[in-house]
């Protein structure tokens, strides 16, 4: 991807986003970053202005401006600028928060914090996400071009499967621990969540569509908001108990 292509994609992204805004506030408190006497008002404007410099020597009189977008991304030393691109491109908010946390835990210098974010959100993740965010398909090709939806398979206790199958439970909870932080960072909502009760060959199971994931820090859990049931197997809805017949 060229810097010009990246700029055209960034131009279509939102300018102000919550995680990056909160990150900027924290950096100001730490006095490791600020906006005093800067020429831009948002990180989007910062990116667009920065990328213009790659059409020639630019403000810094670059000797070699024939670079690709990956080079540009990997050489940014403004932490909010790096984080904003990840958040704006549409990657999982869980991964963006993880990158933010990594930056705040790093050495309090701009290069170290920027590098910490890139270790969590490498260029390949940005490129895939930003392309998917603005990709347009001809009407006749939309069905064939629809990307495969992400999927997580895990276990669930009988009582909670019963509540979800009956439509009484619309949110599934998982503890905020490294295991689930990692798993959720690898998917993008909406995604399928396959929940299996037991280890038997014909164990009851339900697959649902998760429309969004929230983070309840007070309760220490992720909230997986269910939009609909996709399939239900080995479960009798009327009796609310296991059955050997799929429905």
| pTM tops 0.85 | no
Average model confidence (pLDDT) for the chain?
Answer: 85
State the Cα–Cα distance between residues 61 and 225, nearest whole angstrom: 50
Scanning the structure block, which residue is given the tokens 């009956």? 166
pLDDT for 136 beyond 60: no
Q: In which domain, by residue range, is 14 found?
A: 3-134
Write the DSSP assignment of 111-133 as a string of letters.
Answer: HHHHHHHHHHS-HHHHHHHHHHH
Same domain, 25 and 107: yes
136 vs 84, residue with greater confidence: 84
Same domain, 74 and 130: yes
Same domain, 7 and 127: yes
Same domain, 110 and 181: no
Same domain, 14 and 119: yes
197 vs 55, residue with greater confidence: 197
- Show which of 104, 134, 164 is a domain's final residue: 134
At 190, which CATH number?
A: 2.30.130.30
Scanning the structure block, which residue is given the tokens 């630019």? 58
Q: In this predicted model, what pLDDT tens digit does every residue of 57-95 receive, in sequence order? A: 554 555 555 678 898 899 999 999 999 999 999 888 888
Same domain, 7 and 79: yes
Same domain, 162 and 121: no
Same domain, 89 and 160: no
Number of independent structural domains in the chain: 2
Contact (Cβ atoms closer than 8 angstroms) between residue 217 and residue 243: no
């Amino acid at each position: 991807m060229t810097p010009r292509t990246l700029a055209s994609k960034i131009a279509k992204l939102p300018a102000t986003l919550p995680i990056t805004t909160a990150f900027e506030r924290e950096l100001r408190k730490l006095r490791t970053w600020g906006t005093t006497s800067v020429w831009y008002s948002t990180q989007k404007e910062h990116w667009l202005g920065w990328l213009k410099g790659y059409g020639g020597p630019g403000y810094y009189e670059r000797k070699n401006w024939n670079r690709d977008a990956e080079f540009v991304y990997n050489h940014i030393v403004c932490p909010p600028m790096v984080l904003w691109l990840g958040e704006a491109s549409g990657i999982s908010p869980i991964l963006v928060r993880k990158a933010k946390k990594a930056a705040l835990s790093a050495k309090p210098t701009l290069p170290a914090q920027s590098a910490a974010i890139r270790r969590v959100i490498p260029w390949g993740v940005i490129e895939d996400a930003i392309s998917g965010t603005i990709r347009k398909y001809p009407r006749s090709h939309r069905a064939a071009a629809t990307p495969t939806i992400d999927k997580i398979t895990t276990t669930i206790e009988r009582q909670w499967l019963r509540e979800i199958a009956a439509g009484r439970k619309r949110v599934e909870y998982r503890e905020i621990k490294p295991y689930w932080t990692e798993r959720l960072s690898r998917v993008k909502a909406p995604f399928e969540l396959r929940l299996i009760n037991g280890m038997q060959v014909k164990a009851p199971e339900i697959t649902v569509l998760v429309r969004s994931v929230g983070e309840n820090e007070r309760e220490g859990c992720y909230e997986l908001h269910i939009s609909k049931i996709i399939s239900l197997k080995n479960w009798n809805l009327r009796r609310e108990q296991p059955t050997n017949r799929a429905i």
